[in-house]
Homo-oligomer: A and B are copies of this chain.
Amino acid sequence: MSSPDTAPPARRQTRQRTAVLELLDELDGFRSAQDLHALLRERGDSVGLATVYRALQALVDDGLVDVLRSGEGEAAYRRCSPVHHHHLVCRACGRTVEVADPPVERWAARIAAEHGFADVQHELEVFGTCGSCAAGRG
């Protein structure tokens, strides 16, 4: 009943997808698809822009990458751990720290239940200026 075979991913391993994931592994903060595309080009592992978008989408679907849609109209991607977590992001340099807050998990479930909501999900991000950036021009 619970869709036993959710269409086996059967992701094909290509140079492009490997390049995107390796690049993300080397970077620390969230980066836009356009940025990643440019970085790959500089680096030599040139990959088509559309392919970068497709690879990122696949990685997100597989839970290997997190996507952040805050602020402007440019999504940012980051290689993250597969367990549920939230982010503390520096507005200036993009440095990111994965953080967890068990209480908020419970709170979200409870508040949703109290209002009769089901199928609950939540998004929690914290933005700020990291020490280096706060210190004069870090």
Using a CB–CB cutoff of 8 Å, the interface residues on chain A facing chain B are 69-71, 73, 88, 90-91, 97, 99, 101, 103-104, 107-108, 111-112, 115-131, 134
Contacts and interface: CB of A to CB of B under 8 A. Distances in A.
Contacts of A91: 119
Contact of A117 (B70, B88, B112): B88
A126 B118 contact: no
Contacts of A90: 117
**Which 7 residue pairs spanning A and B have beta carbons closest together?**
A116-B131, A117-B128, A120-B128, A124-B124, A122-B126, A119-B129, A121-B127
5 contacts: A88-B112, A88-B117, A101-B111, A118-B134, A120-B126
